[in-house]
Amino acid sequence: MEFTAEMIAGLLGGTIVGDKSVAVHTVSSIEGGKKGALTYLSNPKYEEYIYSTEASIVLVGNDFEPKQEVAATLIKLPDVGMAVLKLLEMYNAMKPQKKGISKMASISEKATVAEDCYVGDFAVIEAGAVIGAGAKIYPQVYVGDGVKIGAGTTLYPGVKIYEGCRVGENCIIHAGAVIGADGFGFLPKPDGTFDKIPQLGNVIIEDNVEIGANTCVDRAKTDSTIIRQGVKLDNLIQIGHNVEIGANTVSSAQTGIAGTTKVGHNCFIAGQVGIADHVVVGNYVKIGSQSGIDKNVPDGEIRFGSPALPGINWHRSFAVFKELPELRRRVSALEKEINK
């Protein structure tokens, strides 16, 4: 399907610089753009590519002024990022949608599946499960006894939702994620072995949550592990039992959050962060990559390092650490002078 520059500018409220009749049928990065492609320039460090790209149309900011000739047609916009998001959402909505219930799916007679759901091959939906309107259950998904899946939610291939868990509306759970496996609870015995502590709770995932591939959210020992609305979890994240993550918090890949920890709302957790058990992380907290959090963090704080320090203290400490070899050399030289 083709769109002209005039059509795109009209849709986004942009101003055309160049040929308004030029058409595109695909999207690309600015450095890899080919004829017939739409691309964009939102980061100034990529400006050099706008002069060499073969893309037919480039979205740019209203304040962009080329330093040399640009072959592509430009569409100037107040917010390039939001414009690109709008276009990608439209493109995604136009893709063919999965429909129907496969004859090779195993659906319990005691399960409730809305008529307009998609259920793929070899998906299993157990007794008492309720699948909301417009949900998409891809092949080889397992939905356990009594699980509730909200309207508009998508479970990609291989997702496993253990018994009794709840997933809200308009969630996306990517391939291989496991929701509701047992929390890691064992009681040491005098002989050095362990007794398993039964994990009797569940997982509650509220609306508009996205969970990445191969991420695991463990069920609670009692009560619930809770992922609040709007949370975005990357791939390969481990959420322990009885954890609660506040609304609109975002976490990058390979983060691990140990049991009974509470993370506030609107936090940003970078990759490979480790948070110890029974810690309370406040609201609007930012934690840098590979940081280790073993103590409570107040609202609005920034943490770096392992064990993590307040942001400014970490930067000061790191500045000293870099100078240690030179400081050692100078101390040695001073010692020699004193000895003389």
What amino acid positions are annotated as catalytic residues? 241
- Identify the helix (H) or strand (E) that includes residue 315: helix 311-339
Adjacent-strand bridge partners of 167: 149, 205
State CA 201 to chain mean position distance: 25
| 176 close to 161: Cβ distance less than 8 angstroms | no
What CA–CA distances, in Å, run from 217 to 180, 234, 242? 6, 12, 10
Q: What is the largest CA-CA distance in the chain?
A: 93
Our CA angle for 52, 55, 56, nearest 5°, is: 120
d(CA 314, CA 306): 10
What's the residue count for the chain?
A: 340
DSSP string computed for 247-307: TT-EE-TT-EE-TT-EE-TT-EE-TT-EE-TT-EE-TT-EE-TT-EE-S-B-TT-EEETTT
Adjacent-strand bridge partners of 286: 268, 302
| 141 close to 159: Cβ distance less than 8 angstroms | yes
Residue type, 28: S
SS3 90: helix
